[in-house]
Amino acid sequence: MCGIAGYWNAGVDFNAQSLEVMAAALRHRGPDYSGRFVEGKAGLIHERLSIIDLNERSNQPIHSHDGRFVMVYNGEVYNFNELATQFRIETKTTSDSEVVLELFVKKGVEFVNYMSGMFAIAIYDRKEERLFLFRDRVGIKPLFYYEQPGTFIFASELKALQRALPHDRLRLNHQAVLNYLHLGFIPAPDTIYENTHKLLPGELAIIDANGVVKRKWWSVERQIGKEQIKSEREALVRFDKVLNSAVQSRLISDVPVGTFLSGGIDSSLVSAVAARHYPGRIKTFTIGFEHTRHDETGYAAKVAKHIGSEHRMLYATEKEAEELLPDIISQYDEPFADTSAIPTMLVSRLAKDEVTVTLSGDGGDELFMGYGAHVWAGRLAKPGVQMMAPFYRTALAMGGSRYKRVARLFEKSQVHEPHIFSQEQYFFSQRELLQLVKQPGEVFKPQFEHIRRQLTPEERQALFDFKYYLPDDLLTKVDRASMRYALETRVPLLDYRMVEMAFNLDPGLRLKGKSGKYLLKQLLYKYVPKELFDRPKQGFSVPLEQWMKGPLEGWFNAYLDKSMLMKHGVVNPEYVADLQKKFKSPKYAFLYNRLWAVAALHAWLDSNT
């Protein structure tokens, strides 16, 4: 796990010093070694966090055996030993990096199809003066780039580009602001700046004198076949086998490994399987909160006792959350409204004191339909529901906070996946955005490739979550939070074999009635007693509503103040003031995430414009 950056033909106002600025911006990702390559049209940097083969012989940039290619690489390829054997790659180190580069030498750009792991890779062809970039299938590892005619600059985090480029090169992307206020994150390939982008999950780019060519080398839509796995018994056997393989491979490390254990289904399953394969007692880490409605530490402790882990627990206070807020605005580089970044940063800091690698349970909800939005997608698609939408909306709007929130789901005559997601997450609807922002427009529309069979509404909603919410919010959150403390986090449930099987399950094995993650739960009960999970889903959330009316009120109000809103001129101050007034009433408690999104946006604007 590392930080990478570089350029191709960067131009007169981007020089060797600019490369050093990018390196400094990424040093928290890799404090163990800092490497450089500069030649002709290209420059590459690598900030290393040593995980496999701690010897300096595995420092990067790494050169191919024939000297033609140079690589910097962020991530891990877990099947590197098998690939070395399969393709008869002679190695001089015990690192995966050497195998990855030599596989590229043998197979060209198709090499990426053989690899199982998480990665962002940059390879420079010294002979042809050509740069290659690759991002893993799911988008676990990030890669940003700035592109102008004849110039291409890339980095693991947007801050490296922000700090190295002249300020007038970066222009605010108003469409990205709109999407952020609707979803709570900025979906790829956009960023908060007009001329910087994210390389998509499963995408590669080739940059040379002829320009930039990008194409998808993998997509989840292409993995969805006409046939489905309908047998529960068969599915359980197959998933159990693959999960054990995925977890076992992600325990490979030359440094200590632990797991994040929230006490929920996904992290408990990953931790239980990891405990079976880890030599000795694995360490597990949990964050709790003082408000019991958001505290699952008791459940996590029971799971830890059952699997026999060395358990570490920390209670987060409002003061710690408040102290972290400036760091979160800085670390995420662009507006980001997911407040679970707070506990994620805290648990990462806790874990780093004892381990360098952690396993997390991310991906379970997206693969196995664990969100309320998946249930709502099915409900709203039923015949007659949309015909009655105006009636439902009016009736529900007369109720309390919960009913007023649900009423927003019936605002559109045709309900699309982003709208369901937005309202399930308490963000602004298209109708509200017309009143909120000063430059309104159409909100984000997802792009899906051709799929060989008709998906149910629930499956389409899960596909939206997997393709957008997972990489651009959840995985972003974990990557930035963990790498802030030079902690590598691996995600076994997102092994591509798990992903491909999950999207070919009969929908009833994913969502049974109103109960999501059905198959995953049956698998979990093989390892941990069922009675430990007989409770409602809580998620890795913070008591945000209470904090915004209590210890964080000062910070919150400062960024919603009329003078602050007028200074940046993005939103309508009168509309925000009306939301604040309503928020004080229990009937409008659900407005907290909308107001948080506006406050976080202006905290970012105030620091970056």
DSSP designation for 55? S
Q: Taking all residues of the chain, what is their mean pLDDT, rounded to a whole number?
A: 92
pLDDT at 339 over 80: yes
Cβ–Cβ under 8 Å, residues 595 and 429: no
Q: Where in the chain is the domain with CATH 3.40.50.620?
A: 222-368+473-533
2 tagged catalytic? yes
What's the pLDDT at 539?
59
Instruction: Identify whether the C-beta of residue 307 lies closer than 8 Å to the C-beta of residue 359.
Output: no
pLDDT-derived band at 412, boundaries 50, 70, 90: low
- CATH class in words for 2-218: alpha beta
Q: Is the pLDDT of residue 82 over 70?
A: yes
User: Strand ranges (DSSP E) for 460-552?
Assistant: 488-490, 511-512, 515-516
User: Could you tell me which residues are annotated as the binding site?
Assistant: 96, 287, 360-361
What percentage of residues in the chain have a pLDDT greater than 90? 78
Residue 330 and residue 158: Cα distance in Å, rounded? 11
Confidence at 39, pLDDT banded by 50, 70, 90:
very high
pTM across the whole model:
0.95
Q: Could you tell me the CA-to-CA distances from 251 to 93, 271, 321 in Å, in that order?
A: 19, 11, 31
CATH number of the domain at 222-368+473-533, please? Answer: 3.40.50.620
Provide the phi-psi class of 434: left if phi over 0, else alpha when psi is between -120 and 50, else beta: alpha
- The rounded percent of the chain whose pLDDT value lies above 70 is 93
Q: Which two tokens stand for residue 538?
A: 């809580």
CATH 3.60.20.10 location in the chain: 2-218
Please list, residue by residue across 175-206, b when 16 or more beta carbons sit within 10 angstroms of its beta carbon and e when fewer do: ebbbbbbbbbbbbbebbbbeebbbbbbbbbbb
Which residue in 2, 83, 224, 321 is the catalytic one?
Answer: 2
Binding residues for L-glutamine: 96
pLDDT greater than 80 at residue 556: yes
Instruction: Evaluate whether 201 touches 139 at the Cβ level (below 8 Å).
Output: yes
Residue 293 has pLDDT above 80, yes or no: no
Q: How confident is the model at residue 356 (pLDDT cuts 50, 70, 90)?
A: very high
Confidence of residue 266 (pLDDT cuts 50, 70, 90): very high
Q: Model confidence over 357-389: pLDDT tens digits?
A: 999 999 999 999 999 999 999 888 887 666 666
Per-residue pLDDT at 324 exceeds 90: no
Q: Could you report the per-residue pLDDT of 415-454, keeping only the tens digit for each?
A: 689 999 999 999 999 999 999 999 988 899 999 999 999 9
The pLDDT assigned to 546 comes to 85
Q: Per-residue pLDDT for 502 more than 70?
A: yes
At 91, is the secondary structure helix, strand, or coil? coil
Closest to 99 in 3D by CA, of 119, 126, 117, 79: 79
Average pLDDT rounded to a whole number, residues 384-406:
62
